[in-house]
Every structure is written in C-alpha cells, then in structure tokens.
Structure 1
C-alpha cells in the first residue's frame, strides 16, 4: 500500500487540479463614464420660418458659434412693450425678438429655443455660407398663457 503524507497530498492536489484563479476585482477605482449634461431651456413652441437671405446676411459660422455660446443654460425675459430686442449675438450673427401682438405682457425665450431656430434656419436656408430668417412662434408669458412673438436672425 501507499502511504501519503500531508505534503504529498498537497503537491498531488496542486498538480492534478491546476485551475486559474479568478482575477481579482479592484473595487477601489471603479471605471465610470461621465457625460456632461447641458441644461436646456425651452419656453416657446412650433414656429413659422421665412427665408430672409441676401448677400449681406450673417455668416453661417458666426451663427453656429452664437448657438454654441448660449448652449449652457438660460433664458431671456422680454416685454412686448419693448419692441424689437437683440438678445444674443456673435460676429455678424444677431438674434432678436419682439412681440407680434398688441398685448402688453412679459414673455420668456429659452436658450434651446434660440439654438433650435438658428440650427433649423441654417438647415433650411443657408446659401453661400450665409443665412437670415425670421418667423413667428408662441412663447410662455410670465403669467399663465402664451403670446406670439416675432424672432429674427439678422446682420
């Protein structure tokens, strides 16, 4: 008969059962992927669009930079009594709003509203690296309800 010592049994079990141990998981430094969320503010609804292109229209690249510059967050509060107001600009590209009704109310325009109007206008009307447009859309009043405003991209 064979007599096995404890050492011999250990060596035999290691030789016979050689399996890879599972890899250790380092829980001290988890892998995470972060995406920066950009706050978007909308206060306006579906708009009409009118092509106002001319040779002196704003440069498309300036309008794209304008849209990028206001992407962080925010809105503008205006009054229909104020008349036409430029609310954002970069280089040759200016964006303005005014009340389209005779009501005397204050209203809000969100940064995402302006970004969407600029991008939609570029997609619809750009020609020779330039774009100009305007339209009418309802925007939230400070008090409940909406009011129609005229917006424009101009030089």
Structure 2
C-alpha cells in the first residue's frame, strides 16, 4: 500500500473446532502441483521454492502487451481475456492505498502454507504492475493474478478507466490476510481498496481464494 509497513509474519495458533484434515506435507524434492481448476492455457507457469521449503508450480496471469490485443468488433468479446497487460518495473510497484479486510476463513479456504507461497512469490519474483479493465473478468467475474497450490489472489474493478495493481499490493494484502485470519492452517480473505489508474483512484475488489 502507499505508505504501508509490511508486518512481520506471525501465524496464529488457533484452530477450527471442526477443522478438516490437512493433506500431508509434500516431501522435499517434490513439486506441489497445480489444482485441476487452473486453465494452463491462460497462465504462465514457474517452479518456485517458497519459505516453507516446498517447491510449487506457480501460475501467473499471462502477460499480454497492447500489440497482442486485436478486437474484431464492438460486439465481439472473444478477446476480453486478452486485454490486460503486465508492465515490468525493476523496483516493484505500490499502486494501491489503504484496504478494507473481511474474514473469509473456513474449512474450505486454501492452505495457509500455499498462501505464504503467493506472498513469497510476489515479494521475491514479481516486479511490476498489472493493468486491467472493467471487462477483464474471465474467471467467474474475477481477474486471477497469481497462485500457488490451492491459494490464489484475484481482483476486479467496475471503474471505466480500469486500474493498476502492483506486486507490492499482492505481497502486503497476502501478508496481512495471513496475520489476521490464519486459523487451523487455512486462510481466506477479501476486501476493497483504492488503486491508481490513468485518471483517478479506482475502487478495486480483492480476494485471497481457494482455486
């Protein structure tokens, strides 16, 4: 966030009264696979070793540039999923301001370790910002940015001018969601924030979700 101080990661020790059983820890040397729900044709894949010592197949929204976008008509929505773009900034981007937070943790939420991987990947590998529009909602009304294992981070906006979301925003929101809402080894969260675009601050909805 604009003046956001990254909090130290302190995972809570509380648990659900009826928490679902967690899967066994992945042995060293194995790769945490993609969930079947991930469309491999719409993402770029990278192997990444997170701070828990596990290696994950991380997915990131395919990075489209303006010349890739070739709409064929005003009523043609065949290229809706190709309108976003990624802009690389060597020092990273903090595009959004203060955010609201909503506790969405349940037995069906993603594993906290997998969301820590999302945080780690945004912190260690991503450097830049996504530019996306109000029509960029190919995943049940959301634009999915990045994910590890069960955990993904997604956004959407209804602003006419679209919005930017930076690597720092994903890192900070993932970190704060874990700090606030980790229970029983799972975490889920959502909220709203104001993010820059070319004209103003746009309202952007965000979510840490299970894929």
Same fold (TM over 0.5): yes
1:62 to 87, 111, 114: 114
Query: For each residue in 1:12-49, what CA deviation from the matched residue of structure 2 results, as whole angstroms up to 9, or x when unmatched?
Result: xxxxxxxxxxxxxxxxxxxxxxxxxx833100000000
Distance across 2 between alignment mates of 1:58 and 1:78: 25
Q: Does 1:81 align with 2:135?
A: yes
Conservation of the 8 A alpha-carbon contact between 1:81 and 1:105 = no
Q: Which is higher, the Rg of structure 1 or of structure 2?
A: 1
Residue 136 (structure 1) shift: 0.3
Q: Secondary structure at the match of 1:56?
A: coil
Write the mapping of 1:1-155 to structure 2, written as runs, cut at 5 A.
39-71=91-123, 72=125, 73-83=127-137, 84-99=142-157, 101=158, 103-141=159-197, 143-155=198-210
* Structure 2 contact 161–199 (Cα < 8 Å) conserved: no
Match of 2:7 in 1: none
Conserved in 2, the CA contact under 8 Å of 1:67 and 1:114? yes
Measure the CA separation in 1 of the matches of 2:110 and 2:94: 24
Aligned length: 115
Matched residue SS, 2:204? strand
- C-alpha contact 2:105 2:186 (8 A) present in aligned 1: yes
Deviation (angstroms), 1:59:
0.8
Give the distance between the partners of 2:114 and 2:91, measured in 1 at CA.
22
CA RMSD of aligned residues (A): 1.3
Q: Which runs of 4+ in 1 moved over 4 A?
A: none
Q: Which runs of 5+ in 1 are unaligned?
A: 1-37
Q: Greater strand percent: which structure?
A: 2
- After TM superposition, the structure 1 stretch with the greater mean CA deviation from structure 2, 57-66 or 42-51, is 57-66
Contact 1:81 1:104 in 2 (8 A): no
Q: CA deviation at 1:97?
A: 0.2
TM-score (structure 1 length as normaliser)? 0.70
User: Which runs of 5 or more structure 2 residues have no equivalent in the other structure?
Assistant: 1-89
Between structures 1 and 2, the one with greater helix share: 1
Distance in 1 between the 2:162 and 2:204 partners? 11
Aligned mates of 1:108, 1:96 — CA distance in 2: 13
Deviation at 1:80, TM superposition (A): 1.5
